[in-house]
Amino acid sequence: EAEEEEEEDEEEEEEEEEEEEEEPQQRGQGEKSATPSRKILDPNTGEPAPVLSSPPPADVSTFLAFPSPEKLLRLGPKSSVLIAQQTDTSDPEKVVSAFLKVSSVFKDEATVRMAVQDAVDALMQKAFNSSSFNSNTFLTRLLVHMGLLKSEDKVKAIANLYGPLMALNHMVQQDYFPKALAPLLLAFVTKPNSALESCSFARHSLLQTLYKV
């Protein structure tokens, strides 16, 4: 009798083991069926979005995250091309963001000034030459971020307009700049504004240039 009981116990144990083995398989199948839906939700798959296959060079992403004149100069002679490559120029909001970050480090020191102007040229030439780029939306959003135009979405205006005004002063003189945008820009730069008044030299320079455009 004892032997029979032992055999029965062994059989029961084997059955339990088999049941335990089945569960992970079912779980695995559940995971497999869940993965396709996850892929569909992933915005990066199957999209012909202009995403670079290589990750952004660390220096460019670092500069765009925390802009400084030193970081811009450290990028070297290819800085302007790298920044333009890293920016989705079909999206006016992203172009505004990149423009403001680049222009925020503007200095009258020749090396920095030229690096900023080169980067602005590469970025804006690529944007304005793109058929999908909406120039009016770009200028409107730029004015909002500069605090010169009110918007329904609460955008925190940048504190110092000196760099952006000096960069605009350069940009509006270039062939790639759509001259049709000049009157709109002029209208907002002439309006009374405390942030503009604190940058009277840059504002005056831009106004003089815009009158000639």
pLDDT at 213: 80
- In CATH terms, the superfamily for domain 58-212 is Ran-GTPase activating protein 1, C-terminal domain (1.25.40.200)
Is the per-residue pLDDT at 7 higher than 90?
A: no
pTM of the model: 0.72
- Would you state the structure tokens that stand for residue 41, as one six-digit string? 């939700």
Give the residue-averaged pLDDT of 188-199. 93
pLDDT at 151: 85
Confidence band, pLDDT 50/70/90 cuts, at residue 40: very low
**Residue with more model confidence, 120 or 56:** 120
Confidence band, pLDDT 50/70/90 cuts, at residue 54: low
Confidence band, pLDDT 50/70/90 cuts, at residue 142: very high
Who contacts 64 (Cβ-Cβ below 8 Å, separation ≥6)?
83, 86, 98, 101
Do 167 and 177 meet the contact criterion of CB atoms below 8 Å apart?
Answer: no
- CA dist., res. 141 & res. 119, Å (int): 20
Is the per-residue pLDDT at 56 higher than 50?
A: yes
Is the per-residue pLDDT at 163 higher than 80?
A: yes
| Model pLDDT for residues 92-110, shown as the tens digit of each residue | 999 999 999 999 999 999 9
pLDDT at 57: 55
Of 21-25, 61-65, 127-131, 133-137, least confident by mean pLDDT is 21-25
Give the residue-averaged pLDDT of 43-47. 52
- Would you state the structure tokens that stand for residue 48, as one six-digit string? 């012909």
- CA dist., res. 104 & res. 117, Å (int): 12
Let me know if 10 is exposed, middle or buried by CB neighbors in 10 A (0-12, 13-18, 19+): exposed
pLDDT at 199: 95
- CA dist., res. 113 & res. 186, Å (int): 23
| Selection from 111, 107, 103, 113 nearest residue 83 by Cα | 103
| Selection from 51, 173, 175, 151 nearest residue 96 by Cα | 151
